[in-house]
Structure 1
Amino acid sequence: MNLSELIAKHDVPGAQVAILADGEIRDEAAGVLSTRTQVPATTDSVFKIGSITKIWTATLVQQLVDEGALTLDDPVRDHLPGFRLSDDQATEAVTARHLLTHTSGIAPNHFTDTGCNDDAIAKFVATLADEEHLLPPGTLLSYSNTGFTVLGRLVEVLRGKPFHDVLREQLVAPLGLTTVATIPYEAILHRAAVGHAGTVPTKKWAVSYRTAPSGSHLAMSARDLLTFVRLQLTDFAGLREPQVNDVPDFGDDISGWGLGWMLHPGNVVGHTGVSKGQKAFLRVDPSRGLAVAVLTNSTNGRPLAHEIFTENGIDVAPPPTPPADPAPIDDRMHGTYRNPLYDITLDSTCLTYRPRSDLAASFLGDRTDPVEVVRLGDDTIITTRGHEVMSLIGSDGTGRAKFLHNGGAAYRIA
């Protein structure tokens, strides 16, 4: 089935696919960049890559390590003057390795808007001193976009330049990449894909610049993404070395974590990116020099990517689905789980999200209605719509689970 047929099958407005094999990249595109404008998607269009950006940020950090500017186990505060978290012990302990492996204990998202200027990341990191800290560093893998923003600030300080300038000078220009936008002002110079909720265009392309190092701004063609991956296969193998082997199941077939990279069964590595109605998927088999990138401008992109990976020799698990006859959600799973932004209450049939502040409420939007869930496995549940997998972890001493792992991030029992 060709790409045009696949996007029609999965109700995706537009997509790009690139495949690296035998040292060569071939690519194709199909559909439209926006259902509103009907501009055709081409192989030189730029799609947002979301959290795949984290591999680029990890590479910038590793370059600094290679140059002797820091080590991964230095406390971050040694290189960031004034760096402070609300937890004094965490301030002293957090390292770049913690941040790269999502084990820093910093909560997944802080929504303080610090603008779009070059000082936005510095201002944002300064606000963490007033934000509730989630977990002691090293406790548990808990996916943190905010943690990668701290890494972005580390890069800015050690290079003496804004993050997007460092990206361009250290990676984009040396690799000769011509279809990369590091900020929205550059994206407008290209044929830029617009995100869609299904097939309905989103009303925003990017959020504040504060989250650029974690994945809010970087956009490119699938070909340029794989040109970057080709560098990873030759020069940055250490980033793929396992760092965390105990990863709770959150539905993306992840068996471990490297430095920025997700590790999958069968020696496959990759990352997934979600950003304002765009979904990007990257899977790499380093032993075969094989990489596949699938960039889509729709929330419907996941099944499309699964088909393309399978067709091109990347062994991936099928997307999870609720069982036909699920076991009941038992009492030890019930409870209210908390992070600094939200409380999530789980009972026998549903999850209910409650914001803990007006700011959190503004980002939660209309997602306050109960979400139906069923039991998936011994320690996992799955939503009946969207099929999001969540894990229950540990024990609080009374027989109840200690953490709910939702979207890769930990929520502790309240």
Structure 2
Amino acid sequence: MGRRLAAAALLALSLLWVASASPLADARGRAAREAAALPPEGEGPAPLLEETAAEAEAGDGGLFLTEIVEPAGSLADLRAVEAADVPAEGRDAARWAVYRELLPRRENGTFGSEEPVSRGEAVQALYRLSGIRVPVDVCPYPDVPEACQDAVAWAESVGVSGGVAEGRFAPFSPVTRSQLAVMLHRFAAWRGEDVESRTAVSWDGEKVPAYAEEALNWVMDRGLYKGMTDHGLYPDLPVSRLQLAVILAGLQEARDPLAGALDLPEGGEASLSRQKHGELDQAVAAAARRHGAVGVQVAVLEKGAVTDAYHYGWAVKGSVPMSSAHKLRTASLSKVAAGLAAALLWEEGAVDYDTDIGAYWGVKTWKPVTIRSLLSHTSTLRNSESIAWDYAGVRAQLGSASGYGGGTPGELRYWSYNNHAFGVLGQTLELAAGRYLDDVLEERVLGPLGAEGSFTAGELAEPELVTPLYRGNGLGRSASSVLSVRQWSAPGATGRQFAGGFTASALDMAKLTALLAGDGCFEGVRLMDAASVELMESHGDQALPGGIYQALPMRLRFGAYGRERLYYHTGSAYGAYNFLSYDPDTGDGVVVLTMGADGGKDAYGIYAVCGEISRAVYEALAPGA
């Protein structure tokens, strides 16, 4: 007998299930096992649903009915489920999700707590919660693999989830917090629950998609995102597997006795920066006044999370007060953005750090220059503003003896801070990837983090937020000049902006810094491999003058501002004096963007206005402070 889905029959079965007084249950499912979407035989509990021998006719096909039974199993059985790779906080939820077969283990046997959940996985989890088992021959979306076609067809039929665009479901794309909220809201409505939100949640500075506003308010009202949103909603951030397990357990606590008995994370960890906001605000203002700054932005990280922000003075002198939303030219902090793009492309296999870059340019280099040597300022390329930044000019430089200084590329004794080399680095990365670095960063990190920054300031969504730069009391560079930089004709066409042209707010830069301080995780979700961050932080044993160590591209200093170790980068241009740093051991960090200050330096060689602010923040965040 055929197994084509009859939509009317499926809806009828769904309504019949909603009317049932039985608590929610789950089952192993028939086709999922063949696609390894469920745990291997013998893992997890006995089936919670029992197929009846009867088969209800639906048109010319068959609709397999299931019998809803009480959820089985005991708390002792659940806590016997192996979850050693899951953090203690949330381990109960992970065990429950495995036990109920909502989120099966990965092929390597781990739970994968930090891994983003795909849209297909999210729908499968809700399908298993639904208690409905309807085999289908045809799925409404051609991009859905067989393993989750039943789940997607069910979700489409009952209105829990539809496609994204152009007839696609995008089952492998990470599900965002906004998308999941809509799925949960519709799922609860399908179950007949009260889905009215009685609390309007306001998220200052965060752009919630219009389609998800009602659902996000309901999710927050229900406390389903508790612990996930202590430091911001981040509506476009993916949801991790552990976070989904906690959310589903919270959704089920009144229906599943085991879910109701779990120890779930509470969240609500206090921010020392927020507790001391007034004190730190005064410290920021005092440092700014002492060094004559026209405008200042500061963003704070605690334990790998962006927790607070400060601003002082003017965005446009005498007329527009500075805010945390304004976008400033970050100067050489741009090199961290370029280095992050390099690590992401290395992770994707698009580049090799130790291959001669001539392979990407289609030219025989006069010396073997690598991405690693460009990032570490040891390429020996000539560094001059007079050297052409365009594709043809750089290509000619790479193949000519006159394009290099003395020494062997890659050797630290030939270290020389090199802005031009970072232009070549950016071009090399774009040529290798066939993509603009702005697009690489937007797709991989900026978009999910709700951050906005660009090497081409003229492409920013809100150009009115871009500030001029002030050098002392005068204008260092106008806003219109900053905004004149638009996307170039093709990836790799120019390298002019990669050494210092990234334009963003301190909050935007702090989100990127938090990703590094969290070893590739942001708010519990892994956005890049830990190995990629380790690569960026890698350095040799030999110190440079001043006792600093060159990483890729950051620097490492020991004992600064009361911290055992700090990775950092400085930046200055047109009157901007900037500083980005983080403590890799605690996850604390500070980003300071300034303009118009005096540019004096402290004992660590850091711009004093930035150093004084950073010291105040690090001391406030120190254990026992």
TMscore range, shorter length? 0.5 to 0.7
Query: Is 2:292–2:597's contact at 8 Å kept on the other side of the alignment?
Result: no
Q: Which sits farther off after the overlay, 26-35 or 299-308?
A: 299-308
Change (3 A) 1:190 1:177: farther
Match of 1:69 among 337, 340, 350: 350
Name the CA shift for 1:151/1:67 in 2 (closer, same or farther; >3 Å): same
Q: Distance in 2 between matches of 1:181 and 1:190?
A: 14
Q: Deviations over 1:150-183 (max 9, x none)?
A: 21112111221233333333332233214x2431
Is the 1:45–1:192 contact (alpha carbons within 8 Å) kept by the matching residues of 2? Answer: yes
3-state SS of the aligned residue for 1:177?
coil
In structure 2, C-alpha distance between the alignment counterparts of 1:34 and 1:244, rounded to whole Å: 45
* C-alpha contact 1:175 1:227 (8 A) present in aligned 2: yes
| Alignment match, 1:183 | 456
Structure-2 residue corresponding to 1:25: 307
In structure 2, C-alpha distance between the alignment counterparts of 1:181 and 1:95, rounded to whole Å: 25
- Structure-2 change in CA distance of 1:189 and 1:310 (3 Å): same
Q: 1:237 to 1:199 in 2, by over 3 A?
A: farther
Please list every run of 5 or more consecutive structure 1 residues that lacks an aligned counterpart in the other structure: 115-119, 316-414
The verdict on how the C-alpha distance between 1:213 and 1:289 changes in structure 2, with shifts beyond 3 A counting, is same
1:19–1:27 contact (8 Å) kept in structure 2: yes
Q: How far has the Cα of 1:124 moved from its partner?
A: 4.4
2:534 aligns with 237
Aligned to 2:118: none
Does 2:128 match 1:128? no
Q: Which has the higher contact order (CA 8 A, sep 6+)?
A: 1
Q: Is the CA contact (8 Å cut-off) linking 1:46 and 1:190 kept in structure 2?
A: no
Instruction: Evaluate the alpha carbon distance shift between residue 247 and residue 41 of structure 1 in structure 2; reply closer, same or farther with a 3 A threshold.
Output: same
Q: Point out the more displaced range, 5-14 or 164-173.
A: 164-173
Give the alignment partner of residue 495 of structure 2, picking from 207, 210, 213: 210
What's the secondary structure of 2:384's corresponding residue? coil
2:444 alignment partner in structure 1: 170
Q: 2:386 is matched with which residue? A: 111
Question: As a proportion of its length, which structure holds more strand?
Answer: 1
Q: 1:29 to 1:311 in 2, by over 3 A?
A: same
- Find the counterpart in structure 1 of residue 615 from structure 2: 310
CA contact (8 A) 1:125 1:149 kept: no
Q: In 1, Cα distance between the equivalents of 2:477 and 2:549?
A: 35
1:156 and 1:166 in contact (8 A); partners too: no
Residue 203 of structure 1: how far off its partner (Å): 4.0
1:86-145 CA distances to partner (integer Å, 9 max, x unpaired)? xx2x1xx2111111111111123333455xxxxx4x244224246441122124111111
Cα deviation for residue 268 of structure 1 reads: 0.8
Show the counterpart of 2:430.
Answer: 156
Which residue of the other structure, out of 537, 543, 557, is the alignment partner of 1:246? 543
Distance, in Å, in 2 between the alignment partners of 1:275 and 1:124 is 24
* Structure 2 equivalent of residue 378 of structure 1: none
Deviation (angstroms), 1:66:
1.7
- SS of the residue 2:440 aligns to: helix
- 1:78 to partner: Cα distance: 1.9
CA positional deviation for 1:64: 2.1
1:364-398 alpha-carbon deviations (Å, 9 max, x no partner): xxxxxxxxxxxxxxxxxxxxxxxxxxxxxxxxxxx
TM-score by length of 2: 0.44
The answer as to whether partners of 2:291 and 2:597 remain within 8 angstroms in 1 is no
Matched with 2:511 is 227
- Cα offsets for 1:197-245 (capped at 9, x unmatched): 2121124545976321212x21111111111111112221331121362
Partners of 1:210 and 1:194 lie apart in 2 by: 22
Give me the whole-angstrom Cα distance separating, in 2, the residues matched to 1:123 and 1:244: 37
Matched residue SS, 2:358: helix
Q: Are 1:263 and 2:556 an aligned pair?
A: yes
Q: Classify the secondary structure of the residue corresponding to 1:108.
A: coil
SS of corresponding position for 1:228: helix
Q: Is the 8 A contact 2:328 2:503 kept in 1?
A: yes
Are residues 1:95 and 2:370 paired?
yes
* Corresponding letter in the other structure for 1:307: E
Seq. identity, %: 23
2:292 aligned to which of 4, 7, 11:
11
Cα gap change, 1:311 to 1:53, in 2 (>3 Å): same
Q: In structure 1, how many angstroms separate the alpha carbons of the residues matched to 2:350 and 2:306? A: 34
Helix, strand or coil at the partner of 1:111: coil
> Is the 8 Å Cα contact of residues 454 and 504 (structure 2) preserved in structure 1?
yes
Q: Secondary structure at the match of 1:33?
A: strand
Distance of aligned partners of 1:269 and 1:148 in 2 relative to their CA distance in 1, 3 Å threshold: same
Give structure 1 regions of 4+ aligned residues with deviation exceeding 6 angstroms.
Answer: none
Residue 332 of structure 2, aligned match among 51, 58, 76? 51
Alpha-carbon distance between aligned partners in 2 of 1:108 and 1:282, rounded to the nearest angstrom: 24
Amino acid paired to 1:298 = G
Q: Which amino acid aligns with 1:27?
A: A
1:101 and 1:244 in contact (8 A); partners too: no
Structure 2 stretches lacking a partner, 5+ long: 1-281, 486-493, 521-532, 559-563, 600-606, 621-625
**2:593 matches 1:295:** yes
Whole-angstrom CA distance in 1 between matches of 2:364 and 2:445: 27
Alpha-carbon distance, 1:294 to partner: 0.6
- SS of the residue aligned with 1:245? coil
Deviation per CA, 1:13-70: give whole Å up to 9, x if none: 00001110132420011101233x5311101011111111111111211222222233
SS at match of 1:312: helix
Residues 314 and 62 (structure 1), Cα distance of their counterparts in 2 relative to 1, 3 Å cut: farther
State the shift of 1:260 in Å. 0.6
Greater radius of gyration (CA): 2
Separation in structure 1 between the aligned mates of residue 619 and residue 578 of structure 2, nearest angstrom: 16
Shift in CA distance, 271/297, structure 1 to aligned 2, threshold 3 Å: same
Count residues in correspondence. Answer: 296
Could you say what secondary structure the match of 2:299 adopts?
strand
Which of 465, 472, 475 is the matching residue for 1:201? 475
Residue 238 to residue 181, structure 1, CA distance change in 2 (3 Å): closer
Normalised TM-score (structure 1): 0.66
Q: 1:132 to 1:72 in 2, by over 3 A?
A: closer
Contact 1:283 1:314 in 2 (8 A): no
1-structure distance, mates of 2:597, 2:393: 28
Give the direction of change, closer, same or farther, for the CA distance of 1:110–1:291 in structure 2 (3 Å limit).
same
Residue pair 1:11, 1:198 contacting (<8 A) in 2 also: yes
Report the Cα offset of residue 314 of structure 1.
Answer: 6.3
Matched residue type, 1:306: G
Q: Is the 8 A contact 1:31 1:40 kept in 2?
A: yes
CA contact (8 A) 1:34 1:201 kept: no
Q: Do the aligned partners of residues 162 and 83 (structure 1) sit closer, same or farther apart at CA in structure 2, a change above 3 Å counting?
A: farther
For the residue of structure 1 that corresponds to 2:444, the secondary structure is: helix
Conserved? CA contact 2:555–2:567, under 8 Å? yes
